[in-house]
Structure 1
Amino acid sequence: MGDDPGRLYRLDGVAHIAGVINEEWFQELLGVLPPANQIQKFAVNCTWFQETFGEYPEGADEETVRHFARAYIMMLSDTQLFADKSGNRIHIRWLPFVARLEEMGGYS
């Protein structure tokens, strides 16, 4: 990714995002980019996540299921486990954690 190194850094080989919604990461990890009116600084409106990933299409391929799984984990993390006061935003800090679904079981 061609981002400014001051806004993007690497830890354990995974690019971590600091400061902005990274379009490439959203497209790659979730398969879709939220509209500009759904983005609030470092977060995306929860309603957009619910409308976009509320129910995955029948007969979805493996990559689509992965997109929906990542979105669901992000929603669960930010609304149930680590909710902010508003309760209506999903923070981008979860993108690096859902990047490698197979390794999530090793997180503590």
Structure 2
Amino acid sequence: MPVTGVTMSSQEALEAECLHHFGIAPRKSDCRGSFIKLVWLRDLKEYLQCIDEDSIQRYVKCHIMLLFGMILFGDKSGAAVHWKFLPLLRDFGSIGQYSWGSACLAHLYRSLCRASRFDCKEIDGPLTLLLAWAWLRLPHLAPVPREPHSFPLANRWHNWDRGGGCYRYLSLAHFRKAFDDLQEGQFVWQAYAVDRIEPDTIPPKIYIDSVVWSATVPLVSFECIEWHATDRIT
């Protein structure tokens, strides 16, 4: 199901959704317009006691909203998350049926578009995903992989600081120059080719569903709609 719904700015609607999901509503000082401050959700999550099904669901919803605000759909402040996601969490059993992956990509594509403007100084969005994408295709910029056969593929860099500590001392100017000096052969166009990925690294079920993740379709995340241009690059 598409990740979409109402995005109107309403303190009353925000409070009503929080009361429904958490049994408590944030104060105005705990919000920033239509955004709920992450510190309020963190405190609520610490306070909750998982003693029954309702309290467990509230705890999980808190965790999901923190995940949205901190990693998947974060803004440049990194301190709040929009309440618009809460209505999609009402049916607890249906949360996993939404296309969160495509919504996340839509948010990243929109963030990259905005970051390309000459007057933009910062970028938001799921930057961990962007790093994993870049490190697969620009190996001369990536830390040395520690577990080359792990899946998800991003796991291969989870211990990169142990063997590639020199990367933490490189400046922004270094990487800008590396991009300026980029040669054609330094970009990996087929990152998942047989000679680059061990046959058993990516689970077979991922390839079975390739007709879905390789489709050239619009990616929807509320008011944000971006094309998934798999016919250009994947």
Query: TM-score normalised to the size of structure 2?
Result: 0.37
User: 1:51: Cα distance to partner?
Assistant: 1.0
* Contact 2:18/2:24 (<8 A) preserved: yes
Higher fraction of strand: 1
SS of corresponding position for 2:36 = strand
SS at match of 1:57: coil
Question: Match for residue 19 of structure 1?
Answer: 9
Q: CA deviation at 1:17?
A: 5.4
SS of structure 2 residue aligned to 1:54 = helix
Matched with 1:96 is: 87
Counterpart contact for 2:44–2:62, Cα < 8 Å: no
Deviation at 1:24, TM superposition (A): 2.1
Query: TM-score, normalised on structure 1?
Result: 0.75
Bigger radius of gyration, 1 or 2?
A: 2
Which whole-Å CA distance do the structure 2 matches of 1:33 and 1:47 have between them?
14
- Ranges in structure 1 where 5+ consecutive residues have no aligned partner: 1-14
Identity of aligned residues (%): 23
Structure 2: which amino acid aligns with 1:18? M
Q: Distance in 1 between matches of 2:36 and 2:17?
A: 14
Task: Specify the alignment match of 1:3 in structure 2.
Answer: none
Q: Counterpart amino acid of 1:104?
A: I
Structure 2, unaligned runs of 5 or more: 100-234
Query: Runs of at least 4 residues of structure 1 off by over 6 A?
Result: none
Q: Distance in 1 between matches of 2:90 and 2:77?
A: 25
Q: Residue 37 of structure 2 aligns with which residue? A: 45
Residue correspondences, number: 93
Q: How does 1:16-95 map to 2 (within 5 A)?
A: 16=6, 18-21=8-11, 22=13, 23-54=15-46, 56-57=48-49, 60-95=51-86
Q: 1:36 to 1:18 in 2, by over 3 A?
A: same
Secondary structure of the equivalent of 1:44? strand
